[in-house]
């Protein structure tokens, strides 16, 4: 059963058939053993290195799974600081703020309400993936026998960190005048976080001049008005309609655990997260000239072009928070953005935060006399396909054919790299074969290839989409 719920970057499955309280106890035990041992192996001797932060989202199964997880941790000998119901980004903050061995968030992020899971972070809130600890946690969880083990009696402490967390998040917010903002919490953790950080429930009081128009803030019934996944365009319609109706300056839609968000401009149009990455890069490079900026390799070419134009250092990274956080740490980048809506900040422990991303976008709007649509217009200069999934059994065969047809020595004579999947770049090729590039990645869990295609113009985009699609299999509509 454990093998079915341990994924590449987290633990996730349907409740209670795949993930239940017994498994949560085992995972708590295994995670405690790994996190405390990992901190000790790093030379950490502080008593705090036995402390593990635990938080949970709003799902109806989260309280009981959290309770079982905590019991597993304390039975192994770890101590728990329980911060209660919160957004995932608070866990990253808490691990660093309290100087703990690690943290675990009970959440299934954007999945339907019958799912749940665990996101695990180690010392300094570094991500724990299959290769960086999840495999060891799974091993330790599978080995423990609850009937014969002797509980070690770790302690549990409840802590309210909203005041400290609010001050941290709002340190990124620099606004003046009035801004009207639509926020769709997707019946997820933004419904708790937004009022406590930005609204009247905040220990700092409501943000002056910030008018928040809330959508779907109710998050105690275990139901979603729409899927809590802002990457799906259909889930953005409520934000888009409300921005137009209320003549708002901007809109944001959060996912279930509120660690990522999508933006809508004042005209009701969805703004691509790679375009936002370039916009935020300018903001940070104005403050720190020459800084490095990390970006997801699926991003528009405009990101790297604009970073270079502004005197910054573009750092191209693999897809996924494990790799993006690693790219920030290795390069010392001040900021990083991912196509999935995760935005990472050096001054947030290299971790991602939907709340901080919103703060920076609001700060940009407050500093400018232009609307968001006008600010992004020069960035959104190329035609993009968005991510398209194709069902195919022979994924490797299809990728090999793409390299042969469009790579070096072909009529297109494009460049090929395999940092993450296969990227074929014919953007600077002259004539009919040029003016486009594409990244094609394999799904880790399904017989799918994921295509992101960009071209100089719509005509070239349509031509290459028609040429590539038959070679990648059957197109899957969401």
Residue 441, SS3 per DSSP: strand
Asked if 157 and 82 count as a contact pair (C-beta separation under 8 A), the reply is yes
Q: Could you tell me where the DSSP H helices lie in 256-378?
A: 273-287, 301-309, 321-331, 354-367, 372-376
Q: What's the first-to-final CA gap in the chain, in angstroms?
A: 28
Of 94, 112, 5, 27, nearest in space to 54 by CA: 94
312-316's contacts with Cβ under 8 Å and 24+ in sequence apart are: 312/281, 312/285, 316/419
Q: What is the C-alpha to C-alpha distance for residues 80 and 74, in angstroms, rounded to an integer?
A: 7
Structure tokens at 357: 């991303």
Q: What's the distance, CA 212 to chain centroid?
A: 23
Positions marked active-site? 109
Q: Which residues of 316-337 are buried (b: 16+ CB within 10 A; e: fewer)?
A: bbbbbbbbbbbbbbebebbbbb
Distance separating alpha carbons of residues 173 and 178, to the nearest angstrom: 13
Pairing, β 11-14 against β 115-122? antiparallel
Give every strand in the sheet of 292-296, ordered side by side: 313-317, 292-296, 335-337, 343-345, 351-352
Rounded-to-integer distance, Cα 154 and Cα 51, Å = 9
For residue 367, give Cα distances in angstroms to 264, 289, 305, 323: 18, 18, 23, 32
């Amino acid at each position: 059963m454990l093998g079915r719920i341990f994924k590449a970057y987290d633990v996730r499955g349907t409740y209670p058939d795949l993930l239940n309280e017994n498994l949560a106890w085992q995972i708590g035990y295994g995670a405690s053993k790994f996190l405390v041992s990992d901190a000790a192996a790093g030379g950490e001797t502080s008593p705090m290195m036995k402390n593990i932060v635990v938080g949970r989202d709003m799902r109806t199964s989260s309280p009981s799974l959290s309770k079982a997880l905590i019991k597993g941790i304390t039975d192994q000998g770890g101590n728990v600081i329980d911060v209660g119901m919160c957004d995932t980004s608070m866990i990253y903050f808490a691990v660093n703020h309290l100087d703990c061995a690690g943290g675990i968030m009970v959440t299934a992020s954007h999945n339907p309400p019958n799912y749940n899971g665990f996101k695990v972070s180690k010392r300094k809130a570094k991500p724990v993936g299959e290769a960086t600890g999840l495999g060891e946690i799974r091993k330790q969880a599978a080995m423990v026998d609850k009937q014969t083990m002797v509980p070690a009696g770790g302690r549990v402490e409840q802590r309210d960190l909203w005041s400290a967390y609010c001050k941290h998040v709002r340190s990124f917010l620099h606004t003046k005048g009035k801004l009207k903002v639509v926020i769709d919490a997707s019946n997820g953790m933004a419904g708790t976080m937004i009022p406590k950080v930005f609204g009247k429930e905040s220990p700092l009081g409501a943000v002056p001049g910030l008018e928040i128009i809330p959508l779907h803030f109710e998050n105690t019934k275990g139901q979603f008005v729409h899927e809590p996944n802002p990457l799906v365009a259909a889930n953005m319609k409520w934000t888009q309609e409300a921005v137009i109706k209320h003549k708002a300056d901007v809109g944001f839609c959060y996912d279930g655990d509120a660690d990522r968000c999508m933006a809508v401009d004042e005209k009701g149009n969805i703004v691509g997260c790679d375009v936002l990455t370039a916009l935020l890069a300018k903001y940070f490079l104005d403050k720190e000239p020459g800084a490095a900026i990390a970006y997801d390799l699926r991003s528009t070419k405009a990101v790297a072009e604009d970073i270079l134009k502004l005197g910054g250092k573009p750092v191209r990274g693999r897809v996924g928070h494990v790799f993006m956080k690693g790219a920030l740490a290795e390069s010392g980048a001040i900021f990083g953005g991912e196509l999935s809506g995760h935005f990472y900040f050096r001054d947030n422990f290299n971790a991602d935060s939907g709340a901080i991303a919103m703060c920076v976008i609001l700060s940009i709007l407050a500093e400018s006399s232009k609307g968001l649509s006008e600010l992004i217009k020069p960035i959104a200069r190329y035609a993009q396909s968005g991510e398209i999934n194709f069902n195919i059994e022979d994924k490797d065969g299809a990728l090999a054919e793409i390299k042969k047809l469009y790579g070096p020595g072909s009529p297109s004579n494009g460049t090929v790299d395999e940092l993450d999947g296969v990227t074929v770049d014919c953007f600077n090729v002259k004539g009919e074969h040029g003016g486009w590039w594409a990244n094609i990645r394999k799904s880790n869990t399904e017989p799918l290839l994921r295509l992101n295609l960009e071209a100089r113009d719509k005509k070239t985009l349509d031509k290459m989409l028609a040429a590539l699609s038959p070679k990648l299999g059957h197109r899957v509509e969401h």
